Amino acid sequence: MDVSVVIPVYNEFDNICRLHEQLTAVMRDFGRSYELLFIDDGSNDGGVTHLRTLATQDPCVKAVLFRRNYGQTAAMQAGLQLASGDVIVTLDGDLQNDPGDIPMMVEKIDEGYDLVHGWRKNRQDKWLTRKLPSKMANWLISRTTGFPIHDLGCTLKAIRREIARELELYGEMHRFIPILAHQRGAKCVEVVTRHHARQFGTSKYGISRTLRVVLDLITVKYLLDYFASPMKLFGLLGLACAGLAGLAGGGTIAMKLLGEVDMTGNPLLLLTIFSMMAALQFFSLGLLGEVCARIYYTSQPKQNYAVRETLNMDANHGQFPRVNHAA
């Protein structure tokens, strides 16, 4: 299989058949073997009936039906794990990404890149609720991680399968796929892609996701810099607190030697005790983090989703050995 197109869908009843028609036309013209892997994230609008029909009529259509709604990250993780193509292309199921950009992105992979991610330069969304928060989030993420990117939220991506296999997504980490892949040494490039206004259905995202992105950014920053060795972070904080405790303790002793009688309410004494306790806690967190990291790297990975049913997929479809990777 040359190309696997992974499409997470949730309540996209009016878009599934239209998207299938567009993808089929593009991939047939492209001339490479392909599969269309739909991951239904617990839809309740009847869209599963379309997937069943398409899977019956078109052998290139594969479908994974979740038991309930687990979120786009879980759907994306399932697609990346189960896809069998040498190149995995991901795109939204809302017809806003243009399937016509897929051949261009796959050809970029042929040039030697490991991951090609789209940039919706002329994005067709509302400015206040979608475009402005996205610009702010992309600027913050780029500055924090040091990874130059214009549009981290674009789902349209092309990834080599071996790179996709190494990604472990949870929470809402699907937004950070290029950064996580770059951390693994992937050669990434950003290309301008077309974007269309939504015609059917409603968006599943709003301005409230900005806070979740910021929280995920903190997690990503930790994973990038300190996940393999948490003591580097917590030990540094512990040393800072220990240093503060030393300074405050020295000041307390100096005040006592200079004739201070009552030390009970001395703020420097209280600061010394507080800093020593904080230092001890940070060192303890660092040690616990080191133990957890070692356990993580030696344990078997567990899925964060449950599959109810698969369509047109044999027992070994997409099942490849997971790599136990240490930073």
- Token digits of residue 149: 């990117």
Strands (E), the chain: 3-9, 34-40, 61-66, 87-90, 115-119, 157-160, 188-192, 307-311
126 or 67, greater pLDDT: 67
Rounded to two decimals, the pTM is: 0.74
pLDDT band at 321 (very low <50, low <70, confident <90, very high): very low
pLDDT band at 59 (very low <50, low <70, confident <90, very high): very high
DSSP H/E element including 173: none
Question: What pLDDT does residue 257 have?
Answer: 82
Q: Which whole number is the average pLDDT over 259-282? A: 83
pLDDT tens digits, residue range 243-259?
Answer: 999 999 888 888 888 87
pLDDT at 87 over 90: yes
DSSP H/E element including 275: helix 267-298
3, 33 contact by CB (below 8 A):
yes
Q: Which whole number is the average pLDDT over 277-298? A: 82
Closest to 213 (Cα-Cα) out of 249, 172, 247 = 172
Closest to 161 (Cα-Cα) out of 51, 81, 102 = 81
Pairing of strands 61-66, 307-311: antiparallel
Q: Which whole number is the average pLDDT over 114-118? A: 94
1, 35 contact by CB (below 8 A):
yes
Give the number of other Cβ atoms within 10 Å of residue 322's Cβ: 12
**Contact residues for 168 (Cβ-Cβ < 8 A; gap 6+):** 77, 301
pLDDT tens digits, residue range 146-202?
Answer: 888 888 888 999 999 999 988 888 777 888 899 989 888 889 999 999 988 888 766
The rounded distance, in Å, linking the Cα atoms of 185 and 59 is: 35
Question: What pLDDT does residue 322 have?
Answer: 44
The residue type found at 324 is N
Q: How many CA atoms lie within 13 A of 241 on its CB side?
A: 18
- Token digits of residue 116: 């090609």
Q: Which of 60-74, 238-252, 256-270 has the lowest mean pLDDT?
A: 256-270
The rounded distance, in Å, linking the Cα atoms of 312 and 304 is: 23
Question: Burial code of 75-94, b = ≥16 C-beta within 10 A, e = fewer?
Answer: bbbbbbbbbbbbbbbbbbbb
Question: What pLDDT does residue 317 have?
Answer: 60
Q: What mean pLDDT value characterizes the chain?
A: 84
What are the distances in angstroms from CA 109 to CA 36, 79, 116, 196?
19, 19, 7, 24
46, 57 contact by CB (below 8 A):
no
